[in-house]
């Protein structure tokens, strides 16, 4: 809880009781040094962790060592009160409810094990270490630290901060960490990558994860905008499957597959079963697979990986997922004039699927020289997107990232370019209403968003990973 005054803090605590096992009071967020907080603690229905963090350790205020020492000398104690104290301070003689903590916001330090050993030598009950992850592979040393602490019987909280570190927050409790952190809502997070507590419990089903939980996830960059966790985690729960689906922010695909995915080389003991693959990795993952289905080979892109014993198998469910909503809208795609915008993995799947429906496809790209190889591989013409006019086209499909993420205010085509097209299909699903679709409606085009495609291809992925067809 990070509020500016005691009344707001009290109100937030009352709301947190629904989701929390512990409630951490970030007292460094208060406008002034808390002289007396005992009254606030009375009547709280959960154990409380008191934190008075200086800015150099991720706190909200510049606090001198003297200010912090003075606070802890008079801080409340009791069976329901825990202290989180930085490792630069001398700890209280009674450390039965003390967490000694160390934070590094620059990355994963090379001496992580030595930092743990230093903190473990203190009398504190729990050792807490939080480091910054820039790639999901940065979670590996954190998981290894958790495993070491469990073997040594040392209570530990170990977290990789940032979006790339999300796996440590969700899987940590099942591997033995003392607790994990969640914000009350998205606006009140106190560390990079901190998920809110309702999502931890209702989306990721944190309390149900154990050592036998099947792990699946989405790899890409970015991934946090994806709604795939909502789809797959709901499907696991509906079917009674002990599984969890996580977003994995991956920059270095080679290192990720070697150190975390391939059963023959990975350095983490976990029950990884499958991966969804999104931009920009749909082609680069192919080099790491033992077998690729013929359709995916023809397309030249893989969006689904299955871990089968010691082998990695690759599939493409994008093509079937893309066609499914189109066949509901057009009884047949034969001889339909279709424009594909983009030249990445999604465009490859779209071209392959549409050609098998006997549609007449033209590729449009911002960089024609770069896209020409893709056009040649499917025997298509490739035109510059900037000067394109789509009058007379039955269907215009956006397979670029324009309209989402950091490109949310952009559109690959203007209303003027789209004028005269029958239907515009944007494969982006978040947001549901993109700038491209708004431009299309200005000139009377029919529109179709990407969520239907996402759900259709996700059903196929679910079946590949579980052997079951999800309930419609």
Q: What Å distances lie between residue 358 and 327, 351, 364, 424, CA to CA?
A: 13, 10, 19, 19
Query: How many helical (H) and strand (E) elements, i.e. helices and strands, does the chain have?
Result: 16, 18
For residues 41 and 70, is the Cβ–Cβ distance under 8 A? Answer: no
- Catalytic annotation, residues: 282
Any residues with CB less than 8 A from the CB of 366 and at least 6 apart, and which? Answer: 384, 385, 386, 400, 412
Contacts by residues 379-386 (CB-CB < 8 Å, ≥ 24 positions apart): 380/351, 385/341, 385/412, 385/413
For residues 156 and 146, is the Cβ–Cβ distance under 8 A? Answer: yes
For residues 83 and 92, is the Cβ–Cβ distance under 8 A? Answer: yes
Separation of CA 81 from chain center: 33
Partners of 337 in the β-ladder: 360
Report how far residue 53's alpha carbon sits from residue 181's, in angstroms, rounded to the nearest whole number.
16
Partners of 275 in the β-ladder: 217, 305
Q: Which two tokens stand for residue 346?
A: 């999604």
For residues 318 and 296, is the Cβ–Cβ distance under 8 A? Answer: no
Helix (H), strand (E) at residue 388: none
Edge-to-edge strand list for the sheet holding 272-277: 243-249, 214-220, 272-277, 304-308, 311-315, 291-292
Report how far residue 338's alpha carbon sits from residue 393's, in angstroms, rounded to the nearest whole number.
6
Partners of 397 in the β-ladder: 340, 425
């Amino acid at each position: 809880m990070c509020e500016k005054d005691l009344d707001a803090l009290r109100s937030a605590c009352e709301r947190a009781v629904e989701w929390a096992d512990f409630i951490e009071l970030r007292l460094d967020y208060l406008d002034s040094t808390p002289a007396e907080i005992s009254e606030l603690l009375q009547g709280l229905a959960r154990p409380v962790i008191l934190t008075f963090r200086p800015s150099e350790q991720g706190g909200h205020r510049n606090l001198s060592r003297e200010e912090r020492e003075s606070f802890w000398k008079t801080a409340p104690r009791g069976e329901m009160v825990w202290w989180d104290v930085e490792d630069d301070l001398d700890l209280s003689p009674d450390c039965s409810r003390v967490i000694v903590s160390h934070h590094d916001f620059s990355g994963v330090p090379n001496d992580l094990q030595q930092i743990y050993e230093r903190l473990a030598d203190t009398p504190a009950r729990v050792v807490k270490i939080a480091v910054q992850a820039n790639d999901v592979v940065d979670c590996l040393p954190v998981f290894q630290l958790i495993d070491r602490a469990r073997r040594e019987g040392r209570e530990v909280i170990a977290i990789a901060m940032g979006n790339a570190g999300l796996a440590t927050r969700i899987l940590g409790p099942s591997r033995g960490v003392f607790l994990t952190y969640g914000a009350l809502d998205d606006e009140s997070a106190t560390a990079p990558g901190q998920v809110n507590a309702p999502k931890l419990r209702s989306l990721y089903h944190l309390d149900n994860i154990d050592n036998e939980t099947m792990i699946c996830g989405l790899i890409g960059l970015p991934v946090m905008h994806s709604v795939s966790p909502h789809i797959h985690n709901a499907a696991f729960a509906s079917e009674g499957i002990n599984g969890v689906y996580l977003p994995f922010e991956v920059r270095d695909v080679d290192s990720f597959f070697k150190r975390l995915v391939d059963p023959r080389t990975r350095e983490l003991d976990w029950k990884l079963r499958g991966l969804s693959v999104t931009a920009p990795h749909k082609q680069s993952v192919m080099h790491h697979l033992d077998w690729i289905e013929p359709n995916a080979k023809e397309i030249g892109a893989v969006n689904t990986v299955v871990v089968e014993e010691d082998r990695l198998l690759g599939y493409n469910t994008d093509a079937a997922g893309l066609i499914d909503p189109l066949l509901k809208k057009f009884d047949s795609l034969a001889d339909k004039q279709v424009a594909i915008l983009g030249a990445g993995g999604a465009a490859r799947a779209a071209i392959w699927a549409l050609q098998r429906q006997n549609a007449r496809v033209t590729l449009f790209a911002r960089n024609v020289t770069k896209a020409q190889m893709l056009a040649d591989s499917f025997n298509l013409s490739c035109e510059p997107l900037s000067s394109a006019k789509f009058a007379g086209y039955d269907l215009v499909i956006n397979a670029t990232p324009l309209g989402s993420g950091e490109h949310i205010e952009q559109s690959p085509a203007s209303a003027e370019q789209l004028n005269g097209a029958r239907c515009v299909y944007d494969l982006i699903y978040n947001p549901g209403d993109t700038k491209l679709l708004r431009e299309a409606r200005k000139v009377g085009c029919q529109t179709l968003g990407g969520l239907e495609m996402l759900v259709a291809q996700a059903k196929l992925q679910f079946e590949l990973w579980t052997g079951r067809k999800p309930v419609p």
